[in-house]
Amino acid sequence: PCNLTGWWENDLGSKMRVFKVGSDGTFSGEYHTAVSSAKKPIQLSPLIGSQHLDEDGQCTFGFTVNWKTFSDSTAVFVGQCFNGDDGKEVLHTSWLLREKVDSEPDDWKATR
C-alpha cells in the first residue's frame, strides 16, 4: 500500500513532509515551495490533509497549505498515490491557489 508518511519532492523542487497518517486517514506536515510570486522570502509552511485509505493502496488524498508566513494565499492539492511498475510510490496532484485581493471586482484574478 502507498504510504504518504515521509518526504516528497516534485519536478520543480518543492518539498513536502508528511509527519504521520492517522488510522482515520488524517495527516499534517510541512511544505517548502520552490516557486512563489510573493515579495517576501519563501518559508516553510504548515499543511493539513486527509487520505482515503484504500485496500489496493493507490489512495486518493487532499491537503491544504497555508502560506501565512510569507504570502496572503492558501493552496489546496488533491491527488492520488500510485505504485509504479518499479515499486516506487508516485504522487499525481492538481492544485488551486487563492490569493487575497483588495476588492470583490478583483475576485476574477484571485484563483489560479
Distance CA 10, CA 75 (A): 16
> Band of the pLDDT at 69, cuts 50, 70, 90?
confident
> Band of the pLDDT at 111, cuts 50, 70, 90?
very high
Domain ranges of the chain: 6-105
User: 108 — phi, psi (to 5°)?
Assistant: -60, -25
Q: Are 1 and 57 in contact (CB under 8 A)?
A: yes
In the block, cell 485496500 appears at: 55
Give the single-character DSSP code of 105.
G
Question: What is the fold of 6-105?
Answer: Lipocalin (2.40.128)
pLDDT of residue 88: 86
At 22-52, the pLDDT tens digits run 999 999 999 998 887 777 888 889 999 999 9
Give CA angle at 89 (52, 66), nearest 5°. 55
Q: What separation, in Å, do the N-terminal and C-terminal C-alpha atoms of the chain show?
A: 32
Provide Rg for the chain, Cα atoms.
15
Distance CA 91, CA 8 (A): 9
Nearest to 90 by CA among 49, 54, 66, 59: 59
